[in-house]
Structure 1
């Protein structure tokens, strides 16, 4: 067993709202909490807390509370923080939905989560309403934040002046959020994260990242994703820092916002790091305010990290986690220049790990020198999910009887307790930080009348970033090319789930039990 090198922290037995917003002094309340990066509009902590309370009061007046589930389909705008924390303040559960989802995918999540209400914005209303109608959610229970006829809006709800309700629940067991994850494979499942999970992980991140109230954090990574939810939205609030929101990534706007708002910490996924390292337009902007580029959601190559550091003159850090770990499990700590930039750093406080040989099931021994042998990474700590919603079978496959979460990632550890991810046991593909389940794409491809068999794996593009690649066996006399395959998939899935590469082969390699031998396909890439 490997333990965090940091001393254990005391995790407060409170809700995430209490942890973030209770007991702020007058100076802290008057500091800017959130800035709309597009318009420059500012919201102080005092204003934010007041609006959260008013929104919670509006929800409570409509009978929403403990036991209620509300879908949130919304980009990174300041109002997200109001409604997200308003839902949790009211004692309800938020299920955050990928803004890129199709109406069918939104509907699937609403149905699975048991959502009774949906919150969105007018540009997303068409898909939201199609999904809501399928779920049986009436128009008056679809809140359109910026307003739309026939729907409640944020201004009116806050204007009702309802006081926040008194709610009681156990933070250790009450489900705060239900983001969806594919786990190690398969269709997305609701990840039950308690208030204690969220509080614990913010506390753990606070223990290793030196963000202060004087910092400005750029939030382009989506709040609906656990990375943006915990490491940006909640962590920034816990530090009294200034959070600058950006609803979608555009390189020019991204650079303008950094320059104009003098952001000091910029949280990215590897594809943005590629742009920072390579795109010529970067040199046209003053990025001297940036102290740290922090990458997550997918592995960041060490050479790419070094290229960003050299170009921007800043520190580049990364970490490792999963939706099921709230998400942070390992983080390269601030100021640790001795830590390999290609690593994921040491375990965060209060966290244990094991490396287990995938063939024998035996624990990998700590190395006497250099790095250990590779093994599947198992994790245990207060940030580990309560389980998958209504999926005890999937929960039991992921978390064993002793509380160890089996990540499906293959890692090594060195004598300084620094971990490296070296391979993936799980089938899941990480495209720009978004999860793509091969089984879902394979089932879709097999619906095409000219495709006899199909398999999907992750393959690296020219920038070394993982993309979905399909191996296709055609029906006899089929007339289908790679463009046709990609077009067929693209019309039926969210943008991040598109097939980006296609290779035609004679037969899909499979085991005697019929399981696709993905390692044989990876050997062809």
Structure 2
């Protein structure tokens, strides 16, 4: 077995819950503003946050909610999201986070699968929430800002309800479903706590960092890397209910943000949108991009325009989520970084199952204390993803250099097989968005009886963007013959999850419908 070790010293495995970890930091700075609602400007100090969490947790306990109970939240990013989240975990419960853009049937599926007993939401989503809870285990609907929510606050719970840090599920997010239906990912307090500590170490998080938090808290990237890392690491958040470029830039300017946390679609805007020039972003040192591959050309374009470093990280919901990041003071465009503390990696040949050494290309396997407990109600998928000795098969194709830098080349299940050659969609997409006038792109394989699959591209382009002929000529000049596009479709937008991943299955579904 060839194992790649982290260059970082291990972080200690601390025997605290997720909320105890956050409280440890907040009690040292009670008067600091830690949460601000972007649209209204309403803010909350560390002391006020602790008070609200403890009183809401006390109210939940008085209502009979506690250890083993699953409660759900359907809400956009807002300070109250953070309060609800930590009140549930402090009361010993499990929280499942729902995408606010879900339809009622999608909400119902997650509520049923998770076994949620209560649902927190906001007035704007009440209709969908009320329609969704019928036929589920949900008995109580609490609406933030209304009496059902405010009346829930009770006598403060002054101590964490006892839980098993290693075996109790505390967070139950659902995977994005880029290659299948969403699955409940069971994460323990240990998973979440250690990954915050790993992230603070690997990502050079510094006290005082304030950032615009648009990455959704219902997704693990926004939840643990933004919300919990900033609260634990001495920082603050200005929440945004959805991404709005003007608000994002204004918050970054006004709060002198040292760092931006983004996904690739925002990188495109930062590199190409004229509005960026209207804001003073001189305090910016780092743009950190994750959730999907970021091509080297686009990464360089962001760095050049903003006069800062632009780096990638890698992770997944099943890893709580961080496993890799580009180290402090280093720039490696196109690379996903080196492994975080306590994190071991292997590269496994997808044909033979053999371990590969430096620069070998195969499936990335990861082992560490951040690896999930498994998939809820899905032992088959759990066994397919986690080996008996604890290695998580990521499903991503990668290679690790002799210096420890890992580069993702593509998703295993998204590889296009063209006449026996493996074509990586991410590589072709990086070439496309690197062209002037192309603002977004996605590449999938179209079934073909002779070739197996043909690479086809969906692109979003400006009016003065390149013609199909110009794109084909550019590909001919830059990529091997088997990587050429066999069809180019122009669309108004690329379907993506809230975390920025391309939903290729939706494009494949469109192909099937068009063929009938």
How would you bin the TM-score normalised by the shorter chain? Answer: 0.7 to 0.9
Higher mean displacement: 42-51 or 285-294: 285-294
- Say which SS state the counterpart of residue 222 (structure 2) adopts: helix
Equivalent in the alignment of 2:107? 106
TM-score between the two structures when normalised by the length of structure 2: 0.82
Report what 1:324 is aligned to. Answer: 318
Residue 513 of structure 1 aligns with which residue? none
Match of 1:197 among 188, 191, 203: 191
Indicate the SS of the match to 2:294: coil
**Cα drift, residue 467 of structure 1:** 4.0
1:173 is aligned, of 157, 167, 170, to 167
Counterpart pick for 2:251 among 245, 248, 257: 257
Match of 2:433 in 1: 463
1:215 aligns with 2:209: yes
Q: 1:304 to 1:184 in 2, by over 3 A?
A: closer
- Is 1:359 aligned to residue 329 of structure 2? no
1:472 Cα deviation after fit: 8.9
Contact 1:468 1:500 in 2 (8 A): no
The superposition leaves residues 160-218 of structure 1 with CA deviations (integer Å, 9 ceiling, x where unpaired) of 34435652111111111000115784211110000000011011111112222221122
Q: Is the 8 A contact 1:213 1:240 kept in 2?
A: yes
SS of residue paired to 2:399: strand
Between the aligned partners of 1:221 and 1:506, the Cα distance in structure 2 is 33
1:342 is the counterpart of 2:334: yes
Residue 466 and residue 102 in structure 1: after superposition, are their counterparts in 2 closer, same or farther (change >3 A)? farther
User: Cα gap change, 1:470/1:129 in structure 2, threshold over 3 Å: closer, same or farther?
Assistant: farther
Q: How many Å apart are 1:129 and its aligned residue? A: 1.0
8 Å CA contact retained: 1:69, 1:95: yes
TM-score of the superposed pair, with normalisation by structure 1? 0.80
C-alpha deviation, 1:469, in angstroms: 5.7
Provide the residue aligned with 1:443 in structure 2: none
- In the alignment, the residues of structure 2 paired with residue 218 and residue 23 of structure 1 have an alpha-carbon distance, to the nearest angstrom, of 20
Q: Return the alpha-carbon distance in structure 2 between the equivalents of residues 64 and 280 of structure 1.
A: 50
Alpha carbons 1:472, 1:504 under 8 Å: kept? no
User: d(CA) in 2 for partners of 1:285 and 1:125?
Assistant: 37
In structure 2, distance between residues paired with 1:2 and 1:54: 46
> 1: CA distance between counterparts of 2:185 and 2:236?
29
Q: Deviations over 1:455-505 (max 9, x none)?
A: xx99849537564869599xxxxxxxx9xxx99xx99x9998694685589
**Residue 306 (1) aligns with residue 285 (2):** no
* Whole-Å separation in 2 of the counterparts to 1:172 and 1:211: 26
Match of 1:406 among 393, 403, 411: 393
Give 1:416's match in structure 2, choosing from 396, 403, 411.
Answer: 403
- Shift of residue 86 of structure 1? 0.5
Paired residue for 2:412? 425
Residues 323-362 of structure 1: CA deviation (Å, up to 9, x unaligned):
001110111122223xx12100100000001001111111
Measured against aligned partners, the alpha-carbon deviations of 1:383-417 in whole angstroms (never above 9, x if no partner) come to 00000111111100000111111111111111110
**Which secondary structure does the structure 2 equivalent of 1:320 belong to?**
strand
How many residue pairs end up in the alignment?
Answer: 453
Gap change, CA 1:506 and 1:188, over 3 Å in 2: closer
Among 241, 256, 268, the alignment partner of 1:274 is 268
- What is the SS of the residue equivalent to 1:180? coil
Which deviates further from its counterpart, 305-314 or 210-219? Answer: 210-219
Tell me whether 1:14 sits opposite 2:16 in the alignment.
yes
Displacement, 1:427?
4.1
Kept after mapping to 1: 8 A contact 2:74/2:100: yes
- Tell me: CA distance 1:380–1:218, structure 2 relative to 1, closer, same or farther (3 Å): same
1:380 aligns with 2:367: yes
Map of 2:126 onto structure 1 = 125
Aligned to 1:234: 228
Q: CA RMSD in A?
A: 3.0
Deviation track 1:398-441 (CA, whole Å, cap 9, x = no partner) reads 00111111111111111110000112212499xxxxxxxxxxxx
